[in-house]
Structure 1
């Protein structure tokens, strides 16, 4: 029987969790209740008591209660909830998670949900779900449902919303239990094909499309991630979970946004997961010739002076990276790759990094590009990274196909190439 874990604070939301438990049982699933409350007394009994959750975080519940620090208690219980969910999953006693709450309950529950593998059903009903949910969802496949009213009793508005949540969680858990698996490192893509991640932006689409088509011919399923900030974070998260046989990271524009203050940064950990976890990777420098900002009237004044500014669309304005910025980007890319634990190669497209940076494009700047290339070469000198300079533009189909073939070779050397491609 499928098991739905109810995760939440039973001192403040006990009535609602009891109602959800009864609804889930009527839908033909089993239920495990995990209590993450600290201060008040639980209003219903839990299968995993709060003291056990605290202990999973390495602290004693009595200490948390005595200290009376809400922030510390939330942090500890989130850590304990994470360990508890991972344990239940490993024991085969979790096929889905459902939680309800305000800001504190949402913070605890979604931190634990984010630790679960891709594909495990995760549903959060929250009064915070109508705003910016990025801090709660991150790069995980969490379903957020807005509670409309605060979760304070079962009433005319909350009852149908919570009923929908319970019914959805039951259905997802039953489907997951029937499949009897989450996506794990050894899983293959459609038709038994290993998964490869690729990064792409609109200005690198032709080159990445050529690479994707070549990798498909070679027997892979290619998942393309748009370098929009969230896309890069998701790529990093899934690479860290070991989901990919290889990574074709041809577009690094999020690093430029991180350096200069653009709106589509993926944070400082971009371009680290594959290197850290030994995943074969081929990296290029796509779109490092630009930084993305919002509408033109939001562009910081300092970027309007002595800059190549271009309105990409009404929502996005781009500026050309300068020589010093390109040099720093080259150093950062090298620092992230030089200690990679898996086979790694870098392909440098000598004739341009984006559609705007082509020889006839508005962002064509050989001096800035060379500052990027020189810093990258210097930073990787003496490392095991294979650096290849290619006399084409990044969007030349031959560049994409060559990068795909190179990644295929690295995956094969690591023992992960598809049999069909090796025949």
Structure 2
């Protein structure tokens, strides 16, 4: 196959382009060393690509379609649909076939970065496929992006989960979106999710999810300040001249959203010692000064959540306490969540002004900060499937939990 040229569009990244053309990021980088040495791609740049066709397989003598499908984690029907030109041929021996991606029906897939555009698309697809999944917005970001929410369930016990409060922890958004899809699909087909019963979840609980609290920051981490970013000059100054933003945790105004809540905010701001905007740890000029934090706080006040979970990365730990204000059930519940997820329940001190802290202080109900995965943020994509299982088991346990109160 001959090399082709494409023109980079706004929002394109190496990982997104490679995924779209069935290439590895390494191959794309090797073909375009002058472009991929930059922190971010520029709209209008032209890249060399060598489009792939995905996985190919030469059928060996004696192999049956069902056997090949099982080997690659597919159903026979999925494999046949991936090879329509020979779907009705009984003997595939000697033929070179296409191996489609497993989970062909899945909506939420991780192909390169998972950002606001992917989230927006997947929310529309989920609500279309599963009408019982309610969607909406709790407010807007600094740059006007909707802060999406999803609701699933009709029960009296209300659980809230949020993700991507910190910009470079965007993998948490894909993780919680994958769980919502798996829950909705299992419920609609009357199947169990591992050992859990989604029919019971739907009847007894209502799950409210804000999957991306910081969409402007996520976009900054993934796409940088190229292509006429409206805040480019100020962001570059706050980032001490660095053009790469993968370490950025704050929102687009350089405020750390998890230091924004009115739970001993002044003490946290003094402990951090950050007096101006930057990539992390600046608490802002006052509690809830940022529209994203304010929207989340006001939305929480409008609902009577029984428990909240804020997904962060990394460390495989569960923080469950706040200044001894948490209810008695928080400690044993954290141990249950730790057992099913493989994470460690940790009693944390010396930290204030987080969403979990404020919720516990305000409502005296269980609140958890869950640090998923291990490594450096943004976490490697190859951890995605494992984290989905770990977080999925944690949320499933929470949805199935019966409080003794």
Q: Same fold (TM over 0.5)?
A: no
Larger Rg: 1
TM-score by length of 2: 0.30
